[in-house]
C-alpha cells in the first residue's frame, strides 16, 4: 500500500492545535505517518481536540529532534513554502507533487512532505535539503495558508493521485435508494402510465373535455418531455393526481408527510 510510504513532517510547530488539524487531514486522506520535528507543545490536549478522532495518528507520531532524523530513509523530499525564496529551486505545484510522490512510493521509495513553522516557515537551509519545493498557488496578496490547511491541500492531492492509480472512483458511487430514484430518468412506459393517469384526472376535475380535447394532452406531453423528469419526481406527481382524484370523488385522503 503505497500511501504508507509517504510521511508528513511538521517542523518545529508552535500550536498543538495545528498538529491535531494536520493529523485529521491526513487520516481523512488515508495517510498515517506523522513525524514531528522538535514540536513546541506535544503531546497536548489541544492536538487531541483538533484531531477530532484521528488520535491514532497522534499516538503513532514519531517525535524527533532534527529534520535530518525525520528524513532518514527518504528517497524523495518535498518542502512546502508559502513564498518565493532567494535561490531558485525545482518547483512543483501540489498536483505534480502528488504524482511524483505516488510514483516514488509505488516503486518502494520513501517520501517526505515537509511543512514549516507557523511564523517563519522552513529555513533556507531546511529547504535546501529538499529535492523539490512545493507552492500551493494561493493569492499572491495573501499567500500563506494555515499549516493544517496546507497539509490538507497536499494530502488531498495525494489521495486523488492514489485513487487514480488504484483505478478507484473519485465520486460517491452508491447512492441511497431515494437519491437513486431522484437521478434516474423515467422510462417511456412509466411516462405513458403517467399521461393516462393525468388525462383521467383532468377529465374528473372537469379541466379536460374528452369530447373536445383540443391540443391539451399533446401540449402537456411536450412540456413533460422537456423537463427530464426523474422517477422520484414522477412518484410525487402520481401521488398528487391520486389525492386529487380522491378529493373530487369525496374519498378520504391521507396527509402527506415529507
Ligand X SMILES: C[S@@+](CC[C@H](N)C(=O)[O-])C[C@H]1O[C@@H](n2cnc3c(N)ncnc32)[C@H](O)[C@@H]1O
Shortest reach from residue 68's CB to ligand X, in Å: 18
Nearer to ligand X, 124 or 200 (CB): 124
Nearer to ligand X, 118 or 182 (CB): 118
β-bridge partners, 13: none
Q: What is the DSSP letter of 107?
A: T
Shortest reach from residue 151's CB to ligand X, in Å: 8
Give the integer Cα–Cα distance in Å for 104 and 96. 12
Nearer to ligand X, 127 or 234 (CB): 127
Residue nearest to ligand X (CB): 121
Residue in the structure block whose three cell numbers are 517526505:
112
Shortest reach from residue 119's CB to ligand X, in Å: 6
Residue 62 phi/psi, 5-degree rounding, is -95, 125
Which residues would be at the binding site for ligand X (CB under 6 A)?
Answer: 80-83, 115-116, 118, 120-122, 134-136, 138, 143-145, 147, 150
Nearer to ligand X, 75 or 138 (CB): 138
Cell of 44: 497536548
Shortest reach from residue 114's CB to ligand X, in Å: 7
Nearer to ligand X, 120 or 240 (CB): 120
Q: What is the DSSP letter of 41?
A: S
Within the chain, where are the H helices? 16-28, 45-51, 55-59, 67-70, 94-106, 124-127, 147-166, 177-183, 188-204, 216-226, 231-249
Residue 113 to residues 129, 155, 182, 192: CA-CA distances in angstroms?
Answer: 12, 9, 42, 59
Nearer to ligand X, 31 or 147 (CB): 147
Give the integer Cα–Cα distance in Å for 197 and 50. 56
Residue among 125, 37, 56 at smallest CA distance from 86: 125
Shortest reach from residue 58's CB to ligand X, in Å: 19
Cell of 116: 514549516
Shortest reach from residue 91's CB to ligand X, in Å: 10
Shortest reach from residue 120's CB to ligand X, in Å: 6
Nearer to ligand X, 143 or 244 (CB): 143
Amino acid at each position: 500500500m503505497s500511501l504508507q510510504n509517504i510521511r508528513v513532517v511538521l517542523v518545529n510547530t508552535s500550536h498543538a492545535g495545528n498538529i491535531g488539524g494536520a493529523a485529521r487531514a491526513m487520516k481523512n486522506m488515508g495517510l498515517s505517518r506523522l513525524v514531528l520535528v522538535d514540536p513546541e507543545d506535544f503531546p497536548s490536549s489541544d492536538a487531541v481536540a483538533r484531531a477530532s478522532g484521528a488520535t491514532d495518528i497522534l499516538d503513532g507520531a514519531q517525535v524527533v529532534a532534527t529534520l535530518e532524523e525525520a528524513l532518514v530513509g527518504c528517497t524523495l523530499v518535498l518542502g512546502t513554502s508559502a513564498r518565493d525564496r532567494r535561490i531558485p529551486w525545482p518547483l512543483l505545484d501540489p498536483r505534480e507533487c502528488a504524482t511524483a510522490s505516488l510514483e516514488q512510493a509505488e516503486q518502494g521509495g520513501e517520501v517526505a512532505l515537509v511543512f514549516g513553522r507557523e511564523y517563519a516557515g522552513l529555513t533556507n537551509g531546511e529547504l535546501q535539503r529538499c529535492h523539490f519545493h512545493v507552492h500551493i498557488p494561493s493569492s499572491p496578496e495573501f499567500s500563506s495558508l494555515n499549516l493544517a490547511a496546507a497539509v490538507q491541500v497536499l494530502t488531498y492531492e495525494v489521495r486523488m493521485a492514489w485513487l487514480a492509480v488504484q483505478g478507484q472512483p473519485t465520486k460517491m458511487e452508491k447512492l441511497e435508494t431515494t437519491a437513486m430514484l431522484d437521478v434516474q430518468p423515467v422510462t417511456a412506459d412509466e411516462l405513458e402510465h403517467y399521461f393516462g393517469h393525468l388525462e383521467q384526472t383532468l377529465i374528473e376535475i372537469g379541466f379536460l373535455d374528452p369530447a373536445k380535447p383540443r391540443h391539451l394532452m399533446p401540449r402537456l406531453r411536450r412540456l413533460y418531455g422537456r423537463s427530464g423528469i426523474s422517477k422520484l419526481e414522477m412518484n410525487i406527481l402520481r401521488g398528487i393526481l391520486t389525492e386529487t382524484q380522491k378529493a373530487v370523488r369525496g374519498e378520504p385522503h391521507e396527509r402527506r408527510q415529507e
